[in-house]
Amino acid sequence: MAAMVAKRSSAVAVRSLCRMYVLSSASPASSRLFRPGQALCAYSTTKHPFQGGNGTTEGGNGTSSPTGHLTMSSSSKQLSTADIKKIPDAEVRKSVFISQSNDVFTNLALEDWIYRNFDLTHHHILMLWINKPSVVIGRHQNPFSETNVSALARNGIELARRNSGGGAVYHDLGNLNCTFFMPRARYDRKYNLTLLTRALYREYGINAELSARDDIVLLGKKISGTAAKLGQPNAYHHCTLLVNSNKLHLGASLEKDNVEITSKATASIPSPIKNLVDVNRTVNIQQLLSAIGYEFLRTPATQLTDGGRELLMKQRGFQLINPTDKWFPGITELRENFASWDWRFGKTPNFSVQKTIQLKSTTAAHQQEMKVKVDVEKALIKEISLILPNHEPIPVVSDMVGRAYSEDCFHGIAEALKGASTENMQQAMGL
């Protein structure tokens, strides 16, 4: 960090220009940032500035995507890990993609499309994206263990399941999401996270640190969570940055139902959190987005050194991305899959829910507790059971079996049973 101090003041003008660039509206023609003789960065909404008229980029032989970047080719899939690691940083170009969508399912689909289709052998990408209020759980999580799904629906907050592992996170317009795309052979989580801390220091003088769990922490509190998808040949690492998120809504959205859930799903690890504006009121999303993008472009592909203006001018720069089928064929279908009930809930590992209720009784001495148990398979109610102390579970015949599980549904079952007396319940159960 000390080596960066002298460069902070000299970089202000460049970053100011970058902020103007990020905030400018998309144009159908290629637009360029201010340049003294040569473009520092560029963006286009139709054709990438490095794309040639024949649909190839920089003389490559692969197939070009509508954004002007090479998509996966058979040759790139055949490169070994050793071959990819031999590629010098000077031959790797970088791009910053800024999604123009605030829809969580669209952005997850864009992330997945890039991961599946782009040739990242000589091209690393940073995708920056912001979502409207939503809770995003990991691929192997149980949404009912992480949040109150029924309450989210009532509050108009989307529940999404991503393709990577990790825990549940809350997104809103005060939260910036960063996804780093690279070949699996070049995956380096600490490189990405350190790059973010360097951007925070260079722009705001904020000294954030990495925790043992690869979270970014500030004054002992978490400002960024992290997860990854490691495949072949590509990989991505994504993380959040809490800028000015609504902490009241964040806490309420990640508050789960007051029931006992037994599940083998991956559980989130709660951590105290902090917004960046809590330590520096001047931090804002657009300025931070710009600062992180420039930090990414001025840093070589594998080395955490500062390439400065010279490296910036060699990069592919920023692109405002419109995630539509015109740009990314098939992305609408991917979005539909991410938004589907089968993906968000049907992928939930099997679990059971229990709650103790107090039965009525004609005499206080005979009041008794009973547990209501619901077994859930693929997010559908498989069995409802009643459990009295020192007795085996007794299944209940109900038309609720086979229906989609929800917290409201479970509490409806429990409330209905509360009206029964101890004597009537024992008689019905043959006790």
Q: Which helix (H) or strand (E) holds 425?
A: helix 422-428
Q: How large is the average pLDDT for residues 213-233?
A: 95
pTM of the model: 0.85
Reported confidence tier of residue 368, pLDDT bands at 50, 70, 90: confident
> What is residue 416's predicted lDDT score, i.e. its pLDDT?
82
The span from the CA of 46 to the CA of 55, in Å, is 12
Residue with tokens 């992290």, as numbered in its chain:
226
Amino acid 1: pLDDT = 47
Q: Domain extents for the chain?
A: 81-345, 351-429
Yes or no: say if 181 and 96 are a contact pair by the CB < 8 Å rule. Answer: no
- Give alpha helix (H) positions in 120-246: 143-146, 149-154, 189-204
Q: Which residues are paired to 222 by β-bridges?
A: 217, 273
- Reported as a pLDDT band with limits 50, 70 and 90, residue 18 is very low
pLDDT tens, position by position, 409-418: 999 988 887 7
Instruction: Indicate the pLDDT class of residue 14, thresholds 50, 70 and 90.
Output: very low
Domain 81-345 has CATH 3.40.50.300: no
Confidence of residue 149 (pLDDT cuts 50, 70, 90): very high
- CA 234-238-240 angle, to 5 degrees, is 170
Amino acid 49: pLDDT:
30
Of 158, 144, 143, 152, nearest in space to 108 by CA: 158
Strand ranges (DSSP E) for 9-111? 31-32, 42-43, 93-99
Please compute, for residue 81, the number of CA atoms within 13 A of its CA located in the half-sphere on the CB side.
7
Residue 50, pLDDT above cutoff 60:
no
Grouping H, G, I as helix, E, B as strand and the rest as coil, residue 120 is coil
Mean pLDDT, the chain, as a whole number?
84
pLDDT at 65 over 50: yes
- How far, in Å, CA of 195 to CA of 215, rounded? 13
Which residue type, as a one-letter code, is found at position 237?
H
User: Which residues contact residue 397 at a Cβ distance below 8 angstroms, ignoring those fewer than 6 apart?
Assistant: none
φ/ψ of residue 34, rounded to 5 = -50, 140
